[in-house]
Amino acid sequence: MSLLLDNQFKELPPDKSIDTKLFLETVAHLPTFFDCLGSKVFSPIKSDISGNITKIRGIYLKDPTKYVTLQSILEAEREAHAAEWPKVGATLALMWLKRGLRFIQIMLQSLADGEKDENNPNLIKVNVTKAYEQALKKYHGWMVQKLFSAALNAAPYRSNFLKSLSKGEEVKEDVCLANVRQFLVNYTITVDAIYEMYTDMNAELDYTV
Ligand code: EIS
């Protein structure tokens, strides 16, 4: 089976509210996605994302009935920490987590769309670079941008990456990409809904690290 299809995102209700418990259960599997990139170079990224998830879970568990949706957490934190908000608590953790989620989305979508460097068709640099430029680059200062371009050289070959998404099974490329496309349906809707919530609540910040 495919790593992605084992951990599919649920369909959202019409009001696009996101159930915190379900969301946390599903994203908990995503850091393993970075193991598919096959190099220890990506460990700091994996731990940053895991840290965001741990932070949100810790806050949720303090009062699961109060924090039943992601929006209810943001609203409660806005109320409780008016001065620092949104640079605080789960609001900050989800702000960064959603960028990592967007990165994964754009990278997988670009692979599924068959975007390739015609001279190096087995490299995924074009797909990773596109995702980085659209999801993260503007939040990174010069130093971190340099680290990312160095990390890019450790990106796996396309064929190996697709194979690890299929948990090492010899799956035909078109089957693997069909799985990626199916995974992306609810995943993209969820990531879009989080972005929309940040825009609507005026919770987005654009400082760089
Ligand atoms: C946020 O991190 C925290 O997530 C958040 C809170 O602490 C907040 C405070 O401002 O900061 O600094 C982080 C940022 N997160 C901001 C960056 C971490 C990534 C690691 C840094 C660079 C190391 C790269 C590896 C270098 C190895 C080079 C060796 C060369 C041989 C090319 C593939 C890229 C894949 C990218 C996938 C998504 C990455 C997501 C990164 C998010 C980010 O930029 S809180 O924490 O609120 O939970 O406490």
Per the CB < 8 A criterion, the answer to whether 104 and 130 are in contact is: no
Per the CB < 8 A criterion, the answer to whether 95 and 206 are in contact is: no
- C-alpha of residue 65 to centroid of ligand 1, in Å: 31
Q: What is the pTM of this model?
A: 0.96
pLDDT surpassing 70 at residue 113: yes
Q: Could you tell me how many residues make up the chain?
A: 209
Which stretches within 8-114 are classed as H helix?
Answer: 20-27, 43-62, 70-80, 89-112
Determine the distance from the C-alpha atom of residue 200 to the mean position of all C-alpha atoms in its chain, rounded to a whole number. 20
Atom of ligand 1 nearest to the CA of 95: 47
Per the CB < 8 A criterion, the answer to whether 86 and 203 are in contact is: yes
Q: Return the residue whose CA atom lies nearest to atom 40 of ligand 1.
A: 100
pLDDT, residue 9, reads 97
Atom of ligand 1 nearest to the CA of 207: 10
Residues with CB under 6 A from ligand 1: 41, 44-45, 48-49, 51-52, 55, 92-93, 96, 99-100, 103, 128, 136, 144, 147-148, 150-152, 209
pLDDT in tens, 3-57: 888 889 999 999 999 999 999 999 999 998 888 888 889 999 999 999 999 999 9
ipTM confidence score: 0.92
Domains and CATH numbers, the chain: 5-200 (1.10.3520.10)
Atom of ligand 1 nearest to the CA of 144: 22
User: For the chain, what is the mean pLDDT?
Assistant: 95
pLDDT in tens, 115-168: 999 999 999 999 999 999 999 999 999 999 999 999 999 999 999 999 999 887
